[in-house]
Amino acid sequence: MTDTAPPVRPTALVTGATRGIGRAIALDLGRTHHVLVGGRSADAVAAVVAELPSAAPFVGDLGAGDVPTLPDRLDVLVHSAGVEQGTTVADTPRDVWEQVFATNLFAVAELTRVALPALRAARGIVVPINSGSGFHSGPGGGVYAASKFALRAFADALREEERGNGVRVSSVHPGRTDSDMQRALTEKLGEDYDTDYYLAPSDVADAVRTVVDLPERGTIESLAIRPTRRR
């Protein structure tokens, strides 16, 4: 008798999956994976879950240390949740630094720590969505860039620590991308918002697909993707 049961999909957890880059990644991985849709709003998470063929909610405030229950095996962990706040060093108080680092670094570190047994069981991959600001900083962007520099250091350390356990780590560094965060940043800088000079969220999702689909014998350790056109 032939077994006609459908194959079990690998599981991917995407944080910040209710909008922008995270949503695009969740929708793309949903073609092949069972997706845990991460977000703080249950309603927003449910809307994305409804769009996917195989998905479940993963609702919690990761920045506040709220980590929902994880499965026993996790094939892909994409850290896409992030915030951009702060201005110059002279004008940014301590609590803003703490808020940015809580989401952009501390939540990533804690969720990864909790997820490592499941990632090791699946010989999975961790994909921190970093930024061009993870390589370069400038006036008024020091808070965000510092958190992304720290995220890059975290990813580099994790990659070497987990080589023997079969867990890969691929940092993806998008340039300016059409998103709510980019709109807010552009307004803060007093610039015009022109999508001709930005990536689409789906472009970043394509980059994530590239690192996820690479056979496990290889790792794209760092991938930078930039808009082709520049002002």
Encoding tokens for residue 55? 């998905």
Encoding tokens for residue 201? 């969220």
Match 């309603």 to its residue by tokens: 43
Match 């994409």 to its residue by tokens: 78
Rounded Cα–Cα distance for residues 162 and 78 (Å): 16
**pLDDT tens per residue across span 194-229:** 777 889 999 999 999 999 999 999 999 999 999 998
**pLDDT tens per residue across span 161-191:** 999 999 999 999 999 888 767 776 776 666 7
Q: How many domains does the chain have?
A: 1
CATH number of the domain at 185, please.
3.40.50.720
Whether the model pTM is above 0.85 = yes
Helices (H), 67-200: 94-101, 107-122, 142-162, 180-189
Q: Which domain holds residue 87?
A: 11-218
225 belongs to a structural domain: no
Select the highest-mean-pLDDT range: 7-16, 117-126, 179-188.
117-126
Pairing of strands 76-79, 171-174: unpaired
The arrangement of strands across the sheet holding 55-59 comes to 55-59, 34-39, 11-14, 76-79, 125-128, 168-169
